[in-house]
Amino acid sequence: MTTEELKNLTSNKVVDARGTACPGPLLAAKKAVGEIGSGEILEIYSADEGTKVDIPKWCQKMGHEFLGIVEEDSYTRLFMKKA
Amino acid sequence: MNNEFEQQIAQLQARIGKMEAGTKDQLSMVVFSGDLDKILAAMIIATGAAAYDMQVKMFFTFWGTAALRDPKKTGKGKNFMSKMFGKMLPKGAGKVKLSKMNMCGMGTSMIKSIMKKNHVASLEEMFKTAGELGIVIHICEMSMNLMGFKREEMIDYPNLDVCGVATFLADAAESKIQLFI
């Protein structure tokens, strides 16, 4: 998805993991994914650089669809769709 | 001819079935080290694996056992040697030191403040998270005896058991990943 498309996307759940370093954002994502339904969209805020590489890898292994990232000033918004 | 093929396929299916039954999506870890840095690495890998829905089993042995002591608890009925060991060894995850650059504790307190600044969870917090994620902790009974630790002075943790090497080997044999830290 393009950045514009992602920005217009309505997430079913937003989890703010900016206050944690590895593996905080990943654990936050895992917890949040358990709280949404199949096909719903989860948005993760992370200030940890590694998350940008980690979350797509994790999604691939877990079967979720990684939609893309939107870079903000001091953090990243990551979008994924639950399988 | 057909019969032979069918037989071979049946044999192969049986072998694949056996292989698949042998390995679970499981991570087995030996935590031998009692150093802050190494236990932190172990805990990060363990919680990360739990995010992948892997069953995680950590076997704490030798120096690692000291990190599981609860600073608020004391063991009863200890002999002189056990008491001495108890005094000399770190009392819990909050007291373990860096493996390098400890510098009489200065390095350890420096890394702890840097960890805080970088939002890295402390060891105590990691243990709490691990418990919530269903990570199993096994403590080596022999090591506890050597160090003079008692079961009642260990932390309150949801899945904690005292056991021996056979338990670790049984878990490790059916795990996809095994680590020694």
Q: Break chain A into its structural domains and give their ranges.
A: 3-81
Grade residue B163 by pLDDT with cuts at 50, 70 and 90: very high
Options 3.40.50.12780, 3.40.50.2300, 3.40.50.720, 3.40.1260.10; CATH of B24-180: 3.40.1260.10
Residue B70 confidence (pLDDT) above 90: yes
For CA atoms B16, B21, B57, A66, the dihedral sign is: positive
Name the average pLDDT for chain B: 93
Grade residue B30 by pLDDT with cuts at 50, 70 and 90: very high
Chain A and chain B share a number of CB contacts under 8 A equal to 33
For CA atoms B59, B61, B64, B69, the dihedral sign is: positive
Residue B20 confidence (pLDDT) above 80: no
User: With an 8 Å Cβ cutoff, are B129 and A27 in contact?
Assistant: yes
User: With an 8 Å Cβ cutoff, are B48 and A26 in contact?
Assistant: yes
Average pLDDT over residues B117-145: 95
Q: What pLDDT shows up at residue A28?
A: 94
Is A22 labeled as catalytic in the residue annotation? yes
Q: What residues 22-51 of chain A have any CB closer than 8 A to a CB of chain B?
A: 22-24, 26-27, 29-30, 47-48
Q: What pLDDT shows up at residue A23?
A: 92
Q: Which residue of A has its CA nearest to B115?
A: A21
pLDDT in tens, A7-61: 888 899 999 999 899 899 999 999 999 999 999 999 999 999 899 999 999 999 9
Q: Is B21 exposed, middle or buried (0-12, 13-18, 19+ CB in 10 A)?
A: exposed
Spans of all domains in chain B: 24-180
User: With an 8 Å Cβ cutoff, are A58 and B47 in contact?
Assistant: no
Residue B76 confidence (pLDDT) above 90: no
Residue B177 confidence (pLDDT) above 70: yes
- Best mutation target, B117, B119, B126, B176, to test chain A (most A CBs within 10 A): B119
Cis peptide before A56 (omega within 30 of 0): no
* Residues of chain B found within 8 Å of residue A49, distances taken between Cβ atoms: none
Q: What pLDDT shows up at residue B152?
A: 93
* Residues of chain B found within 8 Å of residue A47, distances taken between Cβ atoms: 119
Average pLDDT over residues B89-112: 94
Q: What pLDDT shows up at residue A52?
A: 92
Q: Would you say domain A3-81 falls under CATH 3.30.110.40?
A: yes
DSSP assignment, residue A9? P
Using an 8 Å Cβ cutoff, are A44 and A52 in contact?
no
Using an 8 Å Cβ cutoff, are B135 and B68 in contact?
no
State how far the Cα of B96 lies from the Cα of A81, in Å rounded to an integer. Answer: 41
Q: How far is B133 from chain A (nearest CA, A)?
A: 9
State how far the Cα of B73 lies from the Cα of B155, in Å rounded to an integer. Answer: 8
Residue B77 confidence (pLDDT) above 90: no
Residue B17 confidence (pLDDT) above 90: no
Catalytic residue among A3, A5, A7, A22: A22
pLDDT in tens, B105-128: 999 999 999 999 999 999 999 999
Q: What pLDDT shows up at residue A24?
A: 92
Token readout for B68 is: 């599981």
Q: What pLDDT shows up at residue B1?
A: 63
Residue B40 confidence (pLDDT) above 70: yes
Task: Report ipTM (2 d.p.).
Answer: 0.80
- Best mutation target, B27, B43, B45, B47, to test chain A (most A CBs within 10 A): B47
Nearest one of B42, B87, B47 to B69, comparing CA atoms: B87
Question: Which residue from B52, B120, B129 is facing A58, i.e. has the nearest CB?
Answer: B52
Q: How far is A54 from chain B (nearest CA, A)?
A: 10
Q: Is A42 exposed, middle or buried (0-12, 13-18, 19+ CB in 10 A)?
A: buried
**With pLDDT > 90 as the criterion, what percentage of chain B qualifies?**
83
Q: What pLDDT shows up at residue B95?
A: 94
